[in-house]
Amino acid sequence: MSKSTTITVSLDEDAYSVFQSASEIVSKAGIRVPTGQLVQTMINAEMSRLSAREIAHRFLKSIMKQVGVFSGQHPDDDEEDDTIPALSASRAE
């Protein structure tokens, strides 16, 4: 089962200008494509290149690393992307 979601992407000025330049090049070729649509197309291409599950696991590991630094936990970098890192239950007091 797949579920759809809506996302918002914030780009810095340099990244946005790259997409804007691409939009202008496409426009000169006679095809009008808004910059936002090019960003969406790129994100969709990346999502098809990497599975959504793999992206979600990488994100979870990244969050665990960042939070783990504060809580003393350190997830293994060597874990397979197919396994969800375990969270030990610790209570903030």
Owning domain of residue 35: 12-49
* Residue 66 or residue 91, greater confidence: 66
The band of 13, judged by pLDDT with boundaries at 50, 70 and 90, is very high
Q: What is the pLDDT of residue 75?
A: 53
In angstroms, the CA 29 to CA 67 distance is 47
Mark whether 33 and 64 lie in a shared domain: no
Q: What is the pLDDT of residue 86?
A: 56
Mark whether 29 and 16 lie in a shared domain: yes
Closest among 45, 50, 39, 41 to 9, alpha carbons compared: 39
Tell whether pTM > 0.75. Answer: no
71 found inside a domain = yes
The per-residue pLDDT for range 24-83, each reduced to its tens digit, is 888 888 988 888 888 888 888 887 888 878 888 888 888 888 887 665 555 555 555 555
Q: What is the pLDDT of residue 5?
A: 79
